C-alpha cells in the first residue's frame, strides 16, 4: 500500500505496474524519477519552484552552508521519534531536509516510513535522487493526499503552513516540526542587493491546535566563496523573482560574501481538543 490516498475519492492507493491506483480505478502514473502527480488542480505548466531555482537550491545546500540547520531539524525529530515512526514532509522541495531526517532516524534504529509532497515537479525530480525509499507526490500542503491520522511526525521547513491539514493527517499526539528564518537572516546579502533592506518579520510561535514542545535558535556566520555560491543563495530565496534586474546585477561582481544565518526550529505536539476532525 501507498502512504498516499486518492485525491479524487479519498480512498487508499495501492501500487501497480505503472504507479498507484485506488479501488475506484483512479490511476496515477509514476514518473521515471519516482514521484506521482496527485495535484487536484492540474492547470497547464509546472507549479512552484522552477528548474533554475531547484538547481540553485540543490547546489547551495550540497555545499554544506545550511548543515547546522539540517542537523538541528534532525535532532528535533530524533527527540520525539520511535521505532516505525511514519514521517511526512509537507513541502519537501528537493528533499535535502527529508533525507537528512530520515537517515538520522534510520541510523538510530527508528526505521521511519517516509513520504513527502511538493507542488513543484522539478523539485521532486531532484528529491527522487536523494532516496528512492522516500515516497514522493506532487500535491499542495493545503490539500494533502493522506488519510486522517496517517503520520506520526510532520516536517515543514520554510514551507507554507496549513495547520488544519497538518492536524488532520497527524496521529493523536503526533509531532509537527517547523523551521523559519529569524529577523537578521541573510542581512548582509540583503544589504548587498537593496538600497533599503528590511529584516524578516517573525510572528508568535503559538500554533492553533498544537502545544510547543521545544524551540531552538541556530545562529552563525557563513562565508560564501565564489560568485556561483552567492547567486545560488539569492536565487533560492523568495527575493529573486521580486527583485529588479538592476538590483540583481549588484551581486555579479562579488567573489565572496559573509552573511548571517539565523533560524528557529520548533517542535509541537498535536493537542486533544483542537486535534478533532476539521
Q: In what order do the strands lie in the sheet with 19-21?
A: 14-15, 19-21, 27-29
Q: Is 124 exposed, middle or buried (0-12, 13-18, 19+ CB in 10 A)?
A: buried
Phi, psi of 104 (to 5 degrees): -65, -45
For residue range 74-119, what is the model confidence (pLDDT) as tens digits?
A: 999 999 999 999 999 999 999 999 999 999 999 999 999 999 999 9
Parallel, antiparallel, or unpaired: how do β-strands 210-225 and 256-270 relate? antiparallel
List 117's β-bridge partners, or say none.
90, 137
- 25 versus 237: the higher-pLDDT residue is 25
For residue range 35-85, what is the model confidence (pLDDT) as tens digits?
A: 999 997 655 455 667 888 999 999 999 999 999 999 999 999 999 999 999
Q: What pTM was estimated for this model as a whole?
A: 0.93
Chain CA centroid to CA 238, Å: 14
Label residue 276 by pLDDT band (50, 70, 90): very low
When the pLDDT of each residue in the chain is averaged and rounded to a whole number, the result is 92
Residue 121 has pLDDT above 50, yes or no: yes
- Residue pair 145/137 in contact (Cβ under 8 Å)? The answer is yes
Instruction: Quote helix, strand, coil % in the chain, to nearest 5.
Output: 30, 30, 40
Mapped onto helix, strand or coil, the DSSP state of residue 95 is: coil
Report the alpha-carbon distance of residue 209 to residue 225 in Å, rounded: 43
Helix H or strand E segment including 164: helix 163-169
Amino acid at each position: 500500500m501507498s502512504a498516499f490516498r486518492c485525491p479524487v475519492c479519498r480512498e487508499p492507493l495501492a501500487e501497480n505496474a505503472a504507479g498507484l491506483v485506488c479501488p475506484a480505478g483512479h490511476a496515477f502514473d509514476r514518473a521515471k524519477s519516482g514521484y506521482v502527480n496527485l495535484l487536484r488542480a492540474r492547470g497547464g505548466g509546472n507549479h512552484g519552484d522552477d528548474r533554475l531555482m531547484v538547481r540553485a537550491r540543490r547546489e547551495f545546500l550540497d555545499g554544506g552552508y545550511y548543515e547546522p540547520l539540517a542537523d538541528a531539524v534532525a535532532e528535533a525529530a530524533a527527540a520525539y521519534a520511535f521505532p516505525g515512526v511514519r514521517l511526512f514532509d509537507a513541502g519537501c522541495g528537493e528533499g535535502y531536509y527529508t533525507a537528512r531526517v530520515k537517515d538520522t532516524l534510520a541510523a538510530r534504529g527508528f526505521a521511519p516510513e517516509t513520504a513527502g509532497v511538493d507542488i513543484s515537479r522539478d523539485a521532486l525530480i531532484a528529491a527522487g535522487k536523494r532516496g528512492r525509499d522516500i515516497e514522493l507526490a506532487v500535491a499542495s500542503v493545503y490539500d494533502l493526499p493522506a488519510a486522517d491520522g496517517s503520520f506520526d511526525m510532520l516536517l515543514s521547513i520554510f514551507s507554507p503552513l496549513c495547520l488544519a491539514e497538518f492536524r488532520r493527517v497527524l496521529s493523536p499526539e503526533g509531532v509537527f516540526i517547523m523551521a523559519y528564518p529569524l529577523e537578521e537572516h541573510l542581512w548582509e546579502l540583503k544589504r548587498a542587493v537593496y538600497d533599503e533592506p528590511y529584516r524578516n518579520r517573525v510572528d508568535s510561535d503559538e500554533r492553533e491546535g498544537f502545544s510547543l514542545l521545544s524551540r531552538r535558535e541556530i545562529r552563525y556566520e557563513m562565508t560564501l566563496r565564489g560568485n556561483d555560491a552567492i547567486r545560488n543563495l539569492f536565487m533560492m530565496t523568495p527575493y529573486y523573482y521580486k527583485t529588479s534586474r538592476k538590483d540583481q546585477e549588484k551581486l555579479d561582481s562579488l567573489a565572496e560574501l559573509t552573511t548571517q544565518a539565523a533560524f528557529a526550529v520548533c517542535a509541537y505536539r498535536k493537542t486533544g481538543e483542537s486535534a478533532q476532525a476539521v
